[in-house]
Chain A
Amino acid sequence: MEKVILLIEDNPDDELLTRRALKKNNICNEVVVARDGVEALDYLFGTGAHEGRDLGEMPQVVLLDLKLPKVDGLEVLRRVRADNRTRLLPVVILTSSREQQDLVDGYGCGANSYIRKPVDFAQFVEAVRQLGLYWLILNETPRAGG
């Protein structure tokens, strides 16, 4: 059974486009969507709506938007990196922003990769293809919690 991809994204259009881009690239992992930072943290730590979730199952990769309601992307990243259970989780920042400061902050908080969503959908599909190839197929991650 292939691991899930956690997509943290508040814009349903972007969610749909991301799902399509994944599908176009034959990436068939289950996609779990969190609409804001709180929901994402609940899923990752088995709290709130995700109370009792099996924490042995961690996503293969987390696709993280920076601009999120409630708790923003950088804060989510910080908490993920601060917790032993999720410390080593691959997190890819996927955002519209191209501000230098966001890049610096993102890597500074421990992002594994930073990808800017292009306006051109064809380019976006290409970016997702490379992302999937790298993080889902090539990259080896240590066992979660392990």
Chain B
Amino acid sequence: MLRAVLGHLKRAATAYAVLLGALALTLLAYYYVQQRVENEARYRFDETVTAAQEAIDRRMNSYVDAMLGARGLFPASESVEREEWRDYVEGVNLEDRYEGIQAIGYVRYVSPGEKDAFEDRIAETFSDAGLQSGPVVQPDGERSGYYPVTFVEPFNEVNENLLGQDRYTEPAHRDAMDRARDTGEAEATAKVYVFSEASGDSGASLALVPGIVMYLPVYKEGEPTETVDERRSALDGFVVCYLTTGELFQDIFEEPYEPQIDFEVYDGDDLTPGNLLYEDDAVLRAGEALGRSAGSVSGAIEEATGLPIGEPDGPPGLNRSGKIEVAGRELWVYFEALPGFQVNGQSRLPLFVLLSGFAVSLLLFGITFMLARSRLRAEKAGQDLAEANRELEATNKELESFSYSVSHDLRAPLRSIDGFSQILLEDYADELDEEGRDYLGRVRASSQRMGRLIDDLLGLSRVTRGTMRRERVSLSALAEEVAEGLREANPDRRVEFSAQRGLEVWGDPRLLRVALVNLLGNAWKFTEKESEARITFGMDEKLSQRSLVPVYYVRDNGAGFDMAYADKLFGAFQRLHAADEFEGTGIGLATVQRVVRRHGGQIWAEGEVGGGATFYFTMRPGARLDPAPPREEARAR
């Protein structure tokens, strides 16, 4: 079992090496592409985050600018009236340009002594606007100082509720106002709830929504404001700006930002639902993410620059939190890539690379494996062939020694029979009568015939074995030569012989001569009773065209044969004529057939009794010489 496995591994070693190599490359490519895609996603995420932060920053600054513009009204005129305020706010086109600003107003500092006079003025304003007058400064009560909203624009159903409101009573507002008064800068409250228009279907006209309020101090004209104490005593009031964070951030995070990134904005660095100012998709993610990687996030919350900090949690949860300073307060923005973020884009690429890499690896493995296997098979087949060849050679050797024995040992006794019969006839002729001499003559004829049979058999076996030596052979010239030999051997015969010229083939000249000697010899023999014997050798055009190989023929007008026996013509020792009619051993045509077959061809005959015979033969396609000779076939002996 182990051996089988080891053997298999050894044979298919290349294939497995290819598989491992290809898989390694695939994994490498996968890793690389994965990194690329991740980096790209991270880059895209970072870009978006940075842009979003910058947008928030810009927007906040523009609010502060609007407030600064409002403050500019105060040095310009001795006391700012409500109309001036309205003109300014209308002038900056608040509602269109500064989405998220609910109201921009003025909070005047009123000392206890000024309170009544102030309330009278406000009541005037109320009646001007056709409103009922309640307690003017709210909440009611005696305090060391009052900070009621004096003007507010745009002046509408919602914002009119702000008039007279003293928010200094609330810690978040008081903290922002104190800071603003002391620093002289715009300062924002923590998360507070501000009045806003109720959303359409609630039925109420007012709603409290999350927001922040910014205060910018206004000091009395001409008083010093160098120190905190000077600023405290110089305070006239605050430009106040009410922001509803929902509208504000929704406006900021609208197009063109990546929809697959969730934004959450918190007041301060405690990212809990209580401090949530804005939430993009109604799912709180920051707390969960911080729970997962609290160390990395909180550890990184150090930089005061407002630039992104905090380690991304890595895929699939790309996230980041960062702070933005807005009017003295820190807003924390939490960003998280939603699952769709990476699918968007090329995130299928790594998977594709991995799968196609696997497929290609397997394919390569399969191909290499098959190659190795077919090579092994070819080697095995080669070995088998060599083995078979060796066996054939051995068989051939045996055949050779057999025919050697036949030629040598069978002939010796025949020679004795013939020789001593002759001696009897010569030396003892007187003692034998006519009949005895006749018998001895028959003994001699038989032994001589047997000698010829042995010779023919040997010839037949020589045609079958032995190496083919292929060369250019002119069948026409060969036929002429053979016919000439026959003419010389039978000078008393008159035979009209003609051979077509120019028939050349690629074959063994010795074997082809044997074939023509037998075919022409037969024709010669079977026309001996004709007074005008005709023998022709040539190529039959019609048959050649039909069978696509040259068909050669030897035709005579001799005794012919019965077509019923046509299939017996080519068997060894088959004779269609009585021995005393035509002499012969019956091996000639068997020999011719073997020669033709060794040249890859076929032989057949047509004839009729008394009507002559035609022997057709072909050779291996391509054996005919036109134009280039085929490569020589080397056949092992």
Select one of A97, A99, A120 contacting B418, CB under 8 A: A120
Cβ-defined contact, B419 with A121, below 8 A:
yes
Cβ-defined contact, B458 with A13, below 8 A:
no
Cβ-defined contact, B407 with A99, below 8 A:
yes
Cβ-defined contact, B407 with A13, below 8 A:
no
Cβ-defined contact, B418 with A119, below 8 A:
yes
Residues of B within 8 A of A124 (CB): 415, 419
Smallest distance from the beta carbon of A95 to chain B beta carbons, Å?
7
CA distance A144 to B369 in the complex (A): 76
Bitwise, A60-91 to B at CB < 8 A (1) or not (0) is 00000011000000000000000000000000
Q: Please give me the residue from chain A that is nearest to B416 by CB atom.
A: A13
Smallest distance from the beta carbon of B403 to chain A beta carbons, Å?
8
Interface positions of B from 445 to 464, Cβ below 8 Å from A: 447-448, 450-451, 455, 458
Q: Is A137 an interface residue (CB 8 A)?
A: no
Interface positions of B from 403 to 460, Cβ below 8 Å from A: 403-404, 407-409, 411-416, 418-423, 444, 447-448, 450-451, 455, 458
Residues of A within 8 A of B404 (CB): 97, 99
State whether A117 and B411 are in contact (beta carbons under 8 Å apart), knowing that A98-B455, A99-B404 are contacts in the complex: yes
CA distance A13 to B413 in the complex (A): 8
Q: Please give me the residue from chain B that is nearest to A120 by CB atom.
A: B448
CA distance A97 to B419 in the complex (A): 18
Residues of A within 8 A of B408 (CB): 66-67, 95-97
CA distance A122 to B451 in the complex (A): 14
Cβ-defined contact, B407 with A11, below 8 A:
no
Select one of B403, B423, B451 contacting A119, CB under 8 A: B451
Interface positions of A from 122 to 139, Cβ below 8 Å from B: 122, 124
Bitwise, B55-90 to A at CB < 8 A (1) or not (0) is 000000000000000000000000000000000000
Report the count of interface residues on B (CB-CB < 8 A): 24
Residues of B within 8 A of A117 (CB): 411, 415
Cβ-defined contact, A13 with B422, below 8 A:
no
Residues of A within 8 A of B455 (CB): 98
Cβ-defined contact, B416 with A17, below 8 A:
yes
Select one of B415, B418, B447, B448 contacting A96, CB under 8 A: B415
Residues of A within 8 A of B447 (CB): 119
CA distance A57 to B386 in the complex (A): 56
Bitwise, A1-25 to B at CB < 8 A (1) or not (0) is 0000000000101100100100000
CA distance A49 to B443 in the complex (A): 40
CA distance A11 to B451 in the complex (A): 18
CA distance A89 to B412 in the complex (A): 27
Cβ-defined contact, A13 with B415, below 8 A:
yes
Residues of B within 8 A of A120 (CB): 418, 444, 448, 451
Secondary structure at chain A's binding surface: helix, strand, loop or mixed? loop
Bitwise, B325-363 to A at CB < 8 A (1) or not (0) is 000000000000000000000000000000000000000
Q: Please give me the residue from chain A that is nearest to B447 by CB atom.
A: A119
Cβ-defined contact, B415 with A98, below 8 A:
no
Cβ-defined contact, A98 with B416, below 8 A:
no
Cβ-defined contact, B411 with A119, below 8 A:
yes
Cβ-defined contact, B407 with A119, below 8 A:
no
Report the count of interface residues on A (CB-CB < 8 A): 19
Cβ-defined contact, A98 with B419, below 8 A:
no
Smallest distance from the beta carbon of B276 to chain A beta carbons, Å?
112
Residues of B within 8 A of A98 (CB): 407, 455, 458
Cβ-defined contact, A119 with B422, below 8 A:
no
Interface positions of B from 566 to 603, Cβ below 8 Å from A: none
CA distance A72 to B455 in the complex (A): 23
CA distance A11 to B414 in the complex (A): 13
Residues of A within 8 A of B450 (CB): 119
Q: Please give me the residue from chain A that is nearest to B449 by CB atom.
A: A119
Cβ-defined contact, A13 with B412, below 8 A:
yes
Smallest distance from the beta carbon of A124 to chain B beta carbons, Å?
7
Most buried by A among B412, B422, B447, B450: B412
Cβ-defined contact, B407 with A17, below 8 A:
no
CA distance A137 to B7 in the complex (A): 79
CA distance A17 to B455 in the complex (A): 21
CA distance A118 to B451 in the complex (A): 9
Cβ-defined contact, A97 with B407, below 8 A:
yes
CA distance A97 to B423 in the complex (A): 24
Residues of B within 8 A of A14 (CB): 412, 415-416
Residues of B within 8 A of A121 (CB): 415, 418-419, 421-423, 444
Residues of A within 8 A of B444 (CB): 120-121
State whether A96 and B411 are in contact (beta carbons under 8 Å apart), knowing that A120-B451, A121-B418 are contacts in the complex: yes
Select one of A66, A97, A99, A119 contacting B415, CB under 8 A: A119
Q: Please give me the residue from chain B that is nearest to A17 by CB atom.
A: B419
Residues of B within 8 A of A97 (CB): 404, 407-408
Residues of A within 8 A of B419 (CB): 13, 17, 20, 121, 124
Cβ-defined contact, A119 with B458, below 8 A:
no
Most buried by A among B415, B422, B444, B450: B415
CA distance A66 to B450 in the complex (A): 22
Smallest distance from the beta carbon of B600 to chain A beta carbons, Å?
24
Residues of A within 8 A of B423 (CB): 20, 121
Smallest distance from the beta carbon of B279 to chain A beta carbons, Å?
109
Cβ-defined contact, B415 with A17, below 8 A:
yes
CA distance A66 to B413 in the complex (A): 16
Interface positions of A from 100 to 121, Cβ below 8 Å from B: 117-121
Smallest distance from the beta carbon of B342 to chain A beta carbons, Å?
87
State whether A11 and B412 are in contact (beta carbons under 8 Å apart), knowing that A119-B447, A120-B451 are contacts in the complex: yes
Most buried by B among A17, A67, A120, A122: A120
CA distance A79 to B412 in the complex (A): 26
Residues of B within 8 A of A122 (CB): 422
Smallest distance from the beta carbon of A120 to chain B beta carbons, Å?
5
CA distance A118 to B416 in the complex (A): 11
Smallest distance from the beta carbon of B436 to chain A beta carbons, Å?
18
Cβ-defined contact, A96 with B412, below 8 A:
yes
Residues of A within 8 A of B420 (CB): 13, 17
CA distance A13 to B448 in the complex (A): 17
Residues of B within 8 A of A96 (CB): 407-409, 411-412, 415
Residues of B within 8 A of A119 (CB): 411, 414-415, 418, 447-448, 450-451
Residues of A within 8 A of B414 (CB): 119
Q: Please give me the residue from chain B that is nearest to A97 by CB atom.
A: B408
Q: Please give me the residue from chain B that is nearest to A117 by CB atom.
A: B415
A to B CB contacts below 8 Å, 15 in the list? A11-B412, A13-B420, A14-B412, A17-B420, A20-B423, A66-B408, A67-B409, A96-B407, A98-B455, A118-B451, A119-B415, A119-B451, A120-B418, A120-B444, A121-B415
Chain B residues in the interface with A (C-beta under 8 A): 403-404, 407-409, 411-416, 418-423, 444, 447-448, 450-451, 455, 458
Apart from A11-B412, A13-B412, A96-B407: 15 A-B pairs, beta carbons within 8 A: A13-B415, A67-B408, A67-B409, A95-B408, A96-B412, A97-B407, A98-B458, A99-B407, A118-B451, A119-B418, A119-B447, A119-B448, A120-B448, A120-B451, A124-B415
Sorted nearest first, the 3 A-B pairs with minimum C-beta distance are: A119-B451, A13-B416, A121-B419
